[in-house]
């Protein structure tokens, strides 16, 4: 029985897969048609392992999130049964992994942009690698419509615009309270000038 191992390395991520050819499918001796195990290592986090279903869930969620993020859309993506969840976390991204085994706490990993890019790159390399004859259970990539991008991006922008406008209003109102005002009016003689001249003539 042939056991094969292939690895995809990026700066902060390393994805290693082990498997064997699927003889019934006519795979060559260097082709993995059946995955027996996989391990994902991300700097600063414990190794992640699972079966093919877990890898499918991870790939589906990460690729969808990265694709949306590049288009300026920041939203949460969850896999089936919430096994994998990734969501915006400030300027970073929070990856939450729930084990299907009882008694194991969820694993939370915070990724910055470069780490998310490295992880996405590893998964992209796996998908296009000809040494794997695997049918991945991931969504087919369909370009986002301009309307979808505009609607998805405009909502948070509108909220921020309202927030900034409210802050500016409060600051302006506060500054106006400190502007001194002169409430004393000088009394002036409003007598008709023509009357004053006639009195002097007399």
Is 195 a member of any domain? no
pLDDT at 73: 87
Is 158 a member of any domain? no
Is 68 a member of any domain? yes
pLDDT at 187: 45
Tell me 24's DSSP state. G
Q: Using alpha carbons, list the distances in angstroms from residue 103 to 8, 95, 128.
A: 31, 20, 36
Q: How many domains does the chain have?
A: 1
pTM of the model: 0.71
pLDDT at 176: 59
Domain range for 139 = 4-144
Is 136 a member of any domain? yes
With a cut of 50, list the residues of the chain below it in pLDDT.
157, 187, 197
pLDDT at 102: 83
Find, among 84, 72, 5, 83, the residue nearest to 38 by Cα. 5
pLDDT tens track for 97-123:
998 888 889 999 999 999 999 999 999
User: 107: domain CATH number?
Assistant: 2.30.31.10
Is 28 a member of any domain? yes
Is 110 a member of any domain? yes
pLDDT at 195: 53
Is 113 a member of any domain? yes
Is 172 a member of any domain? no
């Amino acid at each position: 029985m042939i056991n094969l191992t292939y690895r995809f390395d990026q700066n902060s991520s390393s994805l290693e897969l082990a498997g064997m050819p699927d003889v019934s499918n006519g795979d060559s001796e260097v082709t993995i048609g059946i995955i027996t195990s996989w391990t994902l290592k991300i700097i600063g986090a414990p190794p992640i392992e699972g079966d093919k279903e877990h890898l499918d869930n991870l790939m589906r969620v990460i690729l969808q999130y990265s694709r949306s993020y590049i288009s300026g859309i920041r939203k949460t993506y969850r896999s089936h049964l919430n096994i994998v969840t990734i969501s915006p976390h400030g300027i970073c991204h929070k990856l939450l992994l729930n084990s299907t085994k009882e008694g194991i706490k969820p694993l939370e990993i915070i990724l910055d942009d470069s780490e998310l890019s490295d992880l996405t790159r590893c998964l992209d390399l796996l998908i296009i690698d000809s040494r794997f004859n695997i049918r991945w259970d991931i969504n087919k990539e369909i370009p986002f419509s301009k309307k979808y991008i505009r609607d998805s991006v405009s909502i948070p922008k509108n909220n921020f615009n309202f927030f900034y406008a409210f802050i500016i209003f409060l600051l302006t109102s506060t500054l106006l309270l400190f502007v001194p005002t002169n409430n004393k009016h000088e009394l002036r003689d409003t007598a008709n000038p023509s009357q004053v001249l006639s009195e002097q003539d007399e």
